[in-house]
């Protein structure tokens, strides 16, 4: 497994540099003065391309996870491990190339699906460390011969934790747009141009650390329950 971890990590780091390079190009085109809020409105076809690129990134990570897995139950572990390494080194390369972010508390535009995610850089890095821990726990027990399938109760806790975390990242933007747009209008793109123009005025106000910490606590409780169950089972 050490060789697999090495090569999967190597791939994730390389993919992180590609991702960072795209950001460097976008900065040259749209943010020559540096990243800052409010966001500059980008061309609609570029925005759609970015949306699809993010989706394609997830497909690539899933593909590597499937190839690295010896058991179907390992696929989620390899996926979140690769995602976490990619995310951490994405910021490492941006810091090396652009000297950005200025600090771990610098606001960042994190994701576009299903809404705009914003938060301080340290938040996704904390999530990434949590994912690495969970992935290594799964892989450790798997290679020792344990049945590492995650039970439905554990999946439920993980999904709830993800929803809580996504809420922490999206609630500031949602509060911003909810006074002007309904959820149906946002997700159907029926007023796409208006939404883009309105979003151009968005400046993050606050990050709800209480919601974020609640999600993280649920993740660690789930990891503990999962590891305890396996330790009391037979390989």
55-81 tens-digit pLDDT = 898 999 999 999 998 888 899 999 999
Do residues 117 and 59 make contact, with C-beta atoms less than 8 angstroms apart? no
Q: Which residues, in sequence order, are CB contacts of 111 under 8 Å at separation 6+?
A: 54, 117, 169
Condensed to tens digits (0 to 9), the pLDDT of residues 15-51 reads 999 999 988 888 888 877 666 777 666 777 777 887 8
**pLDDT, mean of residues 201-211:** 92
Give the whole-number percent of the chain exceeding pLDDT 90.
58
Question: Which tops the pLDDT comparison, 214 or 185?
Answer: 214
Q: DSSP code of 206?
A: -
Question: Which tops the pLDDT comparison, 151 or 179?
Answer: 151
As to burial, measured by CB atoms within 10 angstroms (0-12 exposed, 13-18 middle, 19+ buried), residue 16 is: buried
3-state secondary structure of 159: helix
Residue 148 CB: number of other CB atoms within 10 A?
21
**pLDDT, mean of residues 111-127:** 88
DSSP lists the bridge partners of residue 107 as 120
At 222, the pLDDT band (50, 70, 90 cuts) reads: very high
Whether the predicted pLDDT of 190 surpasses 70: no
Domain count across the chain: 1
pLDDT, residue 41, reads 67
pTM value is: 0.86
Average confidence score pLDDT of the chain: 88
How far is 73 from 78, CA to CA, in rounded Å? Answer: 10
Place of tokens 């995602």: 83
Buried b or exposed e, range 86-106, using 16+ CB within 10 angstroms: bbbbbbebbeeeeebbeeeee
Do residues 85 and 12 make contact, with C-beta atoms less than 8 angstroms apart? yes
Tokens of 119: 């938060």
pLDDT, residue 50, reads 79
pLDDT, residue 188, reads 66
pLDDT, residue 36, reads 72
Tell me the residue range of the domain where 125 lies. Answer: 2-231
pLDDT, residue 54, reads 82
Q: Where are the beta strands (DSSP E) in the chain?
A: 107-111, 117-120
């Amino acid at each position: 497994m050490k060789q697999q971890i090495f090569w999967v990590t190597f791939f994730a780091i390389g993919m992180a540099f590609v991702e960072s390079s795209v950001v460097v190009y976008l900065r040259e085109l749209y943010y020559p003065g540096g990243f800052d809020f409010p966001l500059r409105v980008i061309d609609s076809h570029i925005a759609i391309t970015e949306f699809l690129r993010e989706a394609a990134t997830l497909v690539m990570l899933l593909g590597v996870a499937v190839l690295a897995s010896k058991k179907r139950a390992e696929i989620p572990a390899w996926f979140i491990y690769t995602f976490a390494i990619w995310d951490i080194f994405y910021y490492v390369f941006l810091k090396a190339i652009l000297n950005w972010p200025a600090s771990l508390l610098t606001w960042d535009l994190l994701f576009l699906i299903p809404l705009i995610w914003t938060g301080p850089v340290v938040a996704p890095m904390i999530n990434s460390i949590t994912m690495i821990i969970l992935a290594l726990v799964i892989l450790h027990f798997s290679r020792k011969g344990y049945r590492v399938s995650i039970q439905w109760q554990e999946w439920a806790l993980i999904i709830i934790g993800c929803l809580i975390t996504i809420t922490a990242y999206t609630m500031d933007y949602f509060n911003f747009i909810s006074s002007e747009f309904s959820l149906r209008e946002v997700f159907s793109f029926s007023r796409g141009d208006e939404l883009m123009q309105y979003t151009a005025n968005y400046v993050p106000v606050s990050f709800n650390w209480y919601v974020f910490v609640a999600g993280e606590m649920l993740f660690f409780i789930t990891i503990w329950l999962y590891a305890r169950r396996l330790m009391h089972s037979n390989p």
